């Protein structure tokens, strides 16, 4: 983290940022060079009398995608905040690409919650460039770097629209774009598509899959949707009801192609159906 700190602070030194021609999305190499991905050992968290998470062990290799499914209230979101560095566990260790302290984890993790959390007083472009402004870039420079992402996310013509003028799916895309612009090697997605209708959700899942295929990142996806986890991740773990612990882990073989057709083929694949049934069975016994 100290490598990053020295490279990226404050308004006085925008020149210390990565060269302008490097795209805003390439995660800083200093942060991803470590061999380990995300490692949780014996992590526990209590809120007052309630044990939210009890003894969770997890290991996510770099650039792999882990799905966490579990009954609601099982501590999935708490787990993500702990990985993220927004909260510290009461017991156990969390290691993100070699950083075990909360500020270090915070520097390495991008977090995207179910709600889009866009700032209503900023337009699409201005919302998306917040992480770059926070790192000390001028508004103009930040806009210039985010602009290519806007095109790629299909939001270019909405650059000046306020969030209130956008559909739920578009807002979520802006939120995701902002997360990507933060340029972190680890993505923590907390039911990112949970609030959307099923068609929009399927679109965004395909789109996310295509994006991650282009630019692999370490991803932890929390969801209550088993299909979503199996479509997007290469490993899915099941958490038990509170206090949450990991009760099962299923490896998901990769599938070829992107888009709606590939998704439909995948969903109809007997192996996929068997896998889904396995996870669902684990979920039922985990309640």
Partner 1 sequence: MTAMRLWPSVLVGLVLLGAWEFVTRVLHVEEYILPAPDQVATTLADRWDSTLRSATWVTGTEMVLGFAISVAAGLALGGALHFSAVARRALYPLLIGSQTVPVVVLAPILAIIFGYSITPKLILVALICFFPVVVGTLDGLASVDPELVRMMRTLHGRRVAIFTRVEFPAALPSVFTGVRLAAAYAATGAVFGEYSGASDGLGHVMRQGVPQLQSALVFAAIVLLTAMSVALFVLVSCAERLLVPWHRHPIREGNNR
Binding positions for partner 1, rule: CB under 8 A: 8, 81, 84, 86, 106-107, 109-111, 113, 115, 117, 119-121, 130-131, 133-135, 162, 164, 178-179, 182, 184
Q: Which is nearer to partner 1, 56 or 187 (CB)?
A: 187
Q: Which is nearer to partner 1, 190 or 206 (CB)?
A: 190
- Count H helices, E strands: the chain? 12, 9
Smallest separation (angstroms) from partner 1 to the CB of 55: 25
Smallest separation (angstroms) from partner 1 to the CB of 31: 13
Q: Which is nearer to partner 1, 100 or 119 (CB)?
A: 119
Task: Using DSSP bridges, classify how beta strands 246-251 and 235-239 pair: parallel, antiparallel or unpaired.
Answer: antiparallel
Q: Which is nearer to partner 1, 30 or 262 (CB)?
A: 30
Smallest separation (angstroms) from partner 1 to the CB of 43: 19
Q: List the structure tokens of 253.
A: 């073989």
- Neighbour-count burial of 173, counting CB atoms closer than 10 A to its CB (0-12 exposed, 13-18 middle, 19+ buried): buried
Smallest separation (angstroms) from partner 1 to the CB of 26: 16
Smallest separation (angstroms) from partner 1 to the CB of 102: 10
Q: Which is nearer to partner 1, 115 or 144 (CB)?
A: 115
Report d(CA 236, CA 238) in Å as an integer.
7
Task: Using DSSP bridges, classify how beta strands 38-47 and 218-223 pair: parallel, antiparallel or unpaired.
Answer: unpaired
Question: In 21-117, at which residue ranges do the beta strands (DSSP E only) sit?
Answer: 38-47, 50-60, 65-69, 91-96, 109-112
| Of the candidates 172, 151, 188, 170, the residue with the CA atom closest to the CA atom of residue 23 | 151
């Amino acid at each position: 983290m100290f490598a990053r700190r020295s490279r990226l602070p404050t308004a006085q030194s925008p020149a210390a940022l990565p060269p302008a021609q490097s795209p805003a999305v390439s995660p800083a190499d200093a942060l991803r060079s470590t061999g380990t991905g995300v490692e949780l050992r014996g992590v526990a968290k209590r809120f007052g009398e309630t044990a939210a998470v009890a003894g969770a062990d997890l290991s996510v290799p770099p650039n792999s995608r882990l799905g966490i499914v579990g009954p609601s209230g099982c501590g999935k979101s708490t787990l993500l905040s702990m990985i993220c560095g927004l909260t510290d566990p009461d017991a156990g260790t969390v290691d993100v690409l070699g950083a075990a302290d909360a500020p270090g984890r915070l520097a390495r993790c991008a977090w995207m919650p179910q709600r889009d959390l866009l700032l209503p007083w900023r337009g699409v472009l201005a919302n998306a460039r917040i992480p770059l402004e926070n790192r000390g870039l001028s508004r103009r420079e930040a806009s210039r770097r985010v602009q290519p992402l806007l095109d790629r996310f299909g939001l270019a013509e909405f650059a000046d629209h306020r969030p209130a003028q956008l559909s739920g799916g578009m807002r979520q895309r802006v939120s995701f774009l902002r997360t990507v612009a933060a340029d972190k090697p680890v993505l923590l997605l907390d039911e990112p598509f949970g609030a959307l209708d099923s068609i929009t959700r399927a679109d965004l899942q395909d789109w996310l899959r295509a994006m991650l295929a282009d630019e692999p990142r370490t991803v932890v996806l929390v969801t209550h949707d088993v299909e979503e986890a199996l479509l997007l991740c290469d490993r899915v773990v099941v958490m038990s009801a509170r206090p949450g612990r990991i009760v099962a882990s299923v490896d998901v073989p990769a599938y070829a192609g992107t888009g709606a057709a590939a998704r439909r083929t995948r969903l109809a694949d007997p192996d996929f159906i068997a896998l889904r049934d396995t996870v669902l069975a684990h979920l039922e016994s985990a309640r």
